[in-house]
Homo-oligomer: A and B are copies of this chain.
Amino acid sequence: MMTIKDVAKIAGVSVATVSRVINESGYVNIDTRKKVEAAIRQSNYSPNEVARSLYKRKSKLIGLLLPDITNPFFPQLARGIEDYMQENGYRIIFGNSDENADKELDYIRTFVQNNVVGVISSTNFPDSGAYLEMNIPVVFLDRTSNDSPSVYADGRKGGRLAAQEMVARGSSRITIIQGPAHVKPAQDRFQGAAEALAEMGISYNVIQTSSFSYTEAGQWATELFERFLDTDGVIASNDIVASAVLREAHRLGKTVPEDVQIIGFDDIPLSSLMSPSLSTIRQPARDMGSAAARLLIQLIEQDQVEDKIIQLPVSFIERETTRSRMETSKKG
Contacts and interface: CB of A to CB of B under 8 A. Distances in A.
B273 A217 contact: yes
A78 interface: yes
Interface in A65-81: 68-70, 72, 74-76, 78-79
Contact of A273 (B48, B54, B70, B240): B240
A92 interface: yes
B91 A49 contact: no
Interface stretch (A93-101, A143-151, A227-235): A93-101
A14 B261 CA distance: 71
A185 interface: no
A88 to B, nearest CB: 13
A218 B270 CA distance: 11
Contacts of A70: 75-76, 79, 269
Interface in A237-291: 240, 243-244, 246-247, 250-251, 269-270, 272-277
B79 A75 contact: no
Given A53-B50, A217-B273, A272-B214, A114 B94 contact: no
How many chain copies does the complex carry? 2
A247 B277 CA distance: 8
Interface stretch (A34-42, A105-113, A167-175, A203-211): A105-113
Contacts of A59: 50
A114 B49 contact: yes
B270 A113 contact: no
A313 interface: no
Given A95-B92, A96-B79, A214 B273 contact: yes
A324 interface: no
Interface of A: 1, 46-51, 53-54, 59-61, 64, 68-70, 72, 74-76, 78-79, 82-83, 86, 91-96, 103, 109-110, 112-115, 214, 217-218, 240, 243-244, 246-247, 250-251, 269-270, 272-277
13 contacts: A1-B112, A46-B109, A48-B115, A49-B113, A50-B59, A61-B114, A69-B78, A69-B79, A91-B110, A93-B94, A244-B273, A247-B275, A250-B276
Given A49-B110, A75-B75, 17 more contacts: A1-B112, A46-B109, A46-B112, A49-B113, A49-B114, A61-B114, A69-B78, A70-B79, A74-B75, A82-B95, A83-B96, A86-B103, A247-B273, A247-B274, A250-B275, A250-B276, A270-B270
